[in-house]
Every structure is written in structure tokens, then in C-alpha cells.
């Protein structure tokens, strides 16, 4: 049998491999709710504009509702020979209501239909992700509030740099996630434009009302160029870009969880709920969830690259290449949603080991910068000179096997005669973090205030 939906001019059936390469129903059935919502809006508009009769519209609506409940209940038989979700729905509609079903596709094409469906789908996922990301921010801000004053080493090059607080570290991710949410919100604006009514590529000779379908589907406005409407996928690319950046952020945090749970760091503990054992090494508690969040970033970044390469160099308007947009979009958004949920779970679960954090901050001469700053502030040394003196003192302490506060005043004065007893007041990690009250700095009072500000904002 030739294809029922477009087989008019075809005498032969497609080769098996043609069907295999052409079909998208296995994955685009996920768009069924959006497809039916789009069809209902289109049908309502066709009736309102007098393009189809009110009776036909009512029939079509009833049929679409039945199709929707059959699919939702898992009672629908999808057919690969009907290619995609659009034709599977329409074909079943015809079985239910008869030839009237054929009126639904007036002034429409699968080209504007699929663009509409995907936009509706992506919009819905963005809204869900925003809630999830907000939840993750909240979990991090709560940890920040609880541990605003838990001192830990801050790193650059993964070498001890200066002491910071655990809360400050958590809030760094709250900021990143805030920007991620803004990026998604920015993408959402451009996702939320209505391509329906562009028809195949040129618009239609029927007197359609695109403002009406926009309103029905919650789109901000109709897209203003029919060629653009059916061939634009930058809305999906942009969403993938936001997703990829967000996945990169999650992977950085995940990597820190992996490091911090190791026996070498012992900065935090993850409970049995987020770790697994080894089948051979009984002592192990592996941070698998964190490793998977780290690893899955690759899929999300891959989706962005897949879409850009697929679209690159495509002439206007629609090309079947574009059917390849869906799997990466679905996979990336599923993956991101799952990894945000796993990360939120871990953040809620984790317990920082405040003693281990504090002890780690004490090693590695974390207050060397404080010493240099003291030499500048109190003795009036140029910073470069102060840096040099501090370097010499660090070398001395290292040779003696003590931290900076372990050098006695005489040993210090041998390097810089002007140093006084007062210097010891800046050599503790507590004094160091307390002094960093500059806007955005790590002082516990700053961190507590920032955590409170975020928690209020996040509601």
C-alpha cells in the first residue's frame, strides 16, 4: 500500500530501507500532547474564520480528544509506515471520525506543525527546568546558610590559595545557576513565537487568523516570515546552548563532590543514598551519582554540536535533515533534568566535615596573602616587595616544618626588621576570612547575608 497520507502520486510502496531511514515516530511520539494541542488550536481557528464548519470542527475536536486519551492510556498503535506523530494522529483521527478528518490539514503543513510542536515541547521543559534549577539553588543556599562560617581552603590550580568558607563556595554555584536560569528564560522568549500558519513555507491563501492560534497556544506572537517560521531551529540550538552551559556547571560541582568525598580530601560525606559500594573492595564508597552528573555533561554538549552541524549550510526552507533535531533535544533535556535532580539530592544529602575543612585550610600557607597585605598596610611596603618578603618567610616556615604563625618574631624580623607582634593577628585563617568583607568577599557575615538574600529571593 502506498502511504495513505501522501500517496496520491505514488504507484509503488517505499523500500524497506526508505521507511527505516524516514520514520521518526519511535521518538517523535513524545510530541503527541503538543501535536494534539496544536491541532485543536488550528481546528478552532479554522472554524472561527469560516474555513471549516462548526460541526466539522466539533467532530474533529472530539476525535482528537479520543486520540489523546488513547495515546495517554497506552492503547494507541503507532505505525512506522505513517512516519511521524503528525500522520499517526491524523490517520487515527480519520479512523474515528471518517473523511471529515481530512479537513484538519487545511491551511497547514507538517512543516509548520512540527515547528509548533517542538516549540511547545521545549517551552514546557524550560518551565520545568526552571523550577528544578530553583530547587537546586535553594538547596545550595541552605547549605551556605548552615555553613557560612565553615572555613576551608580556597584553591587556584587546585593548590591551596586563600581560606574561604564552605558557604561561599556553595553560593558560587547559586550564582552560576542563576545565570543558567536567565539564559533559559532568554531562550524561552524566542522559543515562544508561533510558526503555525506558515504552512509549507509560503503562507496560505486561506483567511487564517494567526493571532488567534497564538493566543490559543500561549505564544507571544505569530512569527512574521513564513520561510523563517518553518526553517528556524535556532530556538532549539539556543536552548541546547543554555543546557550545555548548565551541564558544564553541574559537572564542575560534581567533580568537586568526587574530590571532596575522597579519602585524600574528606571535606564532605555523602550518605548511602548517593553512593555505591564496590563488589571487590569492601572499604569503598563510590560517588557514582556525582561521576554520572560529571559524565553526562558530554551528552548535553553533544546535542548542541549535533544541532549546529545539522543546521549548518541548510538552504531555506524546511529540509528533512531537520527531523534529526528531536532526539538530541529530547536526550539533552532529559539528561539535564535528571542531573539537576541528582545534584539537588546530593546537595541536600551532603554533610561537610567542618573539622577536616578547617584542618585543610591550615596547611599550605593559606594566609600568606594576609601576611603580604599586612606588610603593605602596616609597614607601607610596595606590594611586590611585600610579596618577596612573604615568600622568604614561607620558605623559612617550610624548612622549619611549621605554618606561618609557627615562626617566632625574631625569625620574622631577620627577614624584615619592621615586623611587629601585631602580624600574628592576621595569620590565622579565621582572621583571614573575617577580613574579606569587600563586596562579594568570603567573610562569614557576607556569606550569611548573601545566603539569606538568596533564600528570600528563591522563596
Interface residues toward ligand ARG, by CB under 6 A: 24, 28, 84, 110-111, 114, 320, 322-323
Of residues 143 and 323, the one with the C-beta less far from ligand ARG = 323
Pairing label, strands 151-156, 159-165:
antiparallel
Cell numbers describing residue 427: 595569620
Active site residue 278: yes
Q: Which three cell numbers stand for residue 148?
A: 557560612
CB of residue 37 to ligand ARG, shortest distance in Å? 16
Q: Quick one: cell of 350? A: 551532603
Q: Assess whether 249 carries a catalytic annotation.
A: no
Closest separation in Å from C-beta 18 to ligand ARG: 13
Q: How far is the CB of 99 from ligand ARG (least distance, A)?
A: 22
Joined together, the cell numbers standing for residue 221 give 506572537
Total residues found in the chain within this entry: 459
Nearest C-alpha neighbor of 137 from the set 456, 446, 454, 349: 454
User: Which of 157, 205, 279, 438 is an active site residue?
Assistant: 157
> With 0-12 CB in 10 A as exposed, 13-18 as middle and 19+ as buried, what is 48?
middle
Q: C-beta of 299: minimal distance to ligand ARG in Å?
A: 21
Cα(146)–Cα(444) distance, rounded to whole angstroms? Answer: 11
Cβ atoms of 90 and 5 closer than 8 Å: yes
Indicate the residue among 84 and 149 with the shorter CB distance to ligand ARG: 84
Find the shortest distance in angstroms from Cβ 118 to ligand ARG. Answer: 8
Catalytic residue among 53, 221, 278, 425: 278
Nearer to ligand ARG, 84 or 353 (CB): 84
Number of CB atoms found within 10 A of residue 241's CB: 18
Rank residues 9 and 320 by Cβ distance to ligand ARG and give the closer one.
320
For every residue of 91-145, DSSP letters joined together read HHHHHHHGGGGGGTTTT--HHHHHHHHHHHHHHHHHHHHHHHHHHHHHHHHHHHH
Of 124 and 364, nearer to ligand ARG (C-beta) is 124
What's the rounded Cα separation, in Å, for the pair 410 and 222? 78
Q: Indicate which residues carry an active-site annotation.
A: 157, 278
Amino acid at each position: 500500500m502506498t502511504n495513505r497520507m501522501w500517496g496520491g502520486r505514488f504507484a509503488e510502496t517505499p523500500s524497506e530501507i526508505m521507511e527505516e531511514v524516514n520514520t521518526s515516530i519511535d521518538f517523535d511520539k513524545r510530541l503527541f500532547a503538543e501535536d494534539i494541542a496544536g491541532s485543536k488550536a488550528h481546528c478552532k481557528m479554522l472554524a472561527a474564520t469560516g474555513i471549516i464548519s462548526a460541526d466539522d470542527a466539533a467532530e474533529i475536536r472530539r476525535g482528537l480528544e479520543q486520540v489523546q486519551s488513547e495515546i495517554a492510556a497506552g492503547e494507541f498503535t503507532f505505525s512506522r509506515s505513517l512516519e511521524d506523530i503528525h500522520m499517526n494522529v491524523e490517520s487515527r483521527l480519520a479512523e474515528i471520525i471518517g473523511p471529515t478528518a481530512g479537513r484538519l490539514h487545511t491551511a497547514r503543513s507538517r512543516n509548520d506543525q512540527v515547528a509548533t510542536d517542538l516549540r511547545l515541547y521545549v517551552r514546557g521543559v524550560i518551565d520545568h527546568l526552571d523550577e528544578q534549577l530553583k530547587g537546586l539553588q535553594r538547596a545550595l543556599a541552605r547549605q551556605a546558610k548552615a555553613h557560612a562560617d565553615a572555613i576551608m581552603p580556597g584553591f587556584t590550580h587546585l593548590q591551596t590559595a586563600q581560606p574561604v568558607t564552605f558557604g561561599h563556595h556553595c553560593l558560587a554555584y547559586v550564582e552560576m545557576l542563576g545565570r543558567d536560569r536567565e539564559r533559559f528564560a532568554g531562550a524561552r522568549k524566542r522559543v515562544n513565537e508561533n510558526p503555525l500558519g506558515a504552512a509549507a513555507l509560503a503562507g496560505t491563501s486561506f483567511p487564517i487568523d494567526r493571532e488567534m492560534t497564538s493566543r490559543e497556544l500561549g505564544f507571544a506572537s505569530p512569527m512574521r516570515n513564513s520561510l523563517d517560521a518553518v526553517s528556524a531551529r535556532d530556538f532549539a540550538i539556543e536552548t541546547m546552548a543554555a543546557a550545555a552551559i548548565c551541564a558544564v556547571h553541574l559537572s564542575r560541582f560534581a567533580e568537586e563532590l568526587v574530590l571532596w568525598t575522597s579519602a585524600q580530601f574528606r571535606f564532605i560525606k555523602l550518605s548511602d543514598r548517593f553512593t555505591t559500594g564496590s563488589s571487590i573492595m569492601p572499604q569503598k564508597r563510590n560517588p557514582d551519582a556525582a561521576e554520572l552528573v560529571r559524565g553526562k555533561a558530554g551528552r548535553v554538549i553533544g546535542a548542541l554540536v549535533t544541532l549546529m552541524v545539522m543546521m549548518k549550510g541548510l538552504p531555506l526552507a524546511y529540509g528533512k535533515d531537520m527531523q534529526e533535531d528531536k532526539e538530541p533535544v529530547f536526550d539533552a533535556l532529559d539528561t539535564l533534568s535528571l542531573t539537576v535532580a541528582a545534584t539537588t539530592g546530593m546537595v541536600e544529602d551532603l554533610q561537610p566535615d567542618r573539622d577536616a575543612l578547617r584542618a585543610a585550610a591550615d596547611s599550605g600557607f593559606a594566609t600568606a596573602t594576609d601576611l603580604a597585605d599586612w606588610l603593605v598596610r602596616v609597614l607601607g611596603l610596595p606590594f611586590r616587595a611585600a610579596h618577596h618578603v612573604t615568600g622568604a618567610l614561607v620558605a623559612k616556615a617550610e624548612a622549619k616544618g611549621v605554618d606561618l604563625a609557627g615562626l617566632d618574631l625574631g625569625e620574622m624580623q631577620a627577614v624584615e626588621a619592621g615586623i611587629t607582634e601585631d602580624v600574628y593577628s592576621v595569620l590565622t585563617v579565621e582572621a583571614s576570612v573575617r577580613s574579606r568583607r569587600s563586596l562579594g568577599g568570603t567573610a562569614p557575615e557576607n556569606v550569611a547575608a548573601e545566603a539569606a538574600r538568596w533564600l528570600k529571593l528563591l522563596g
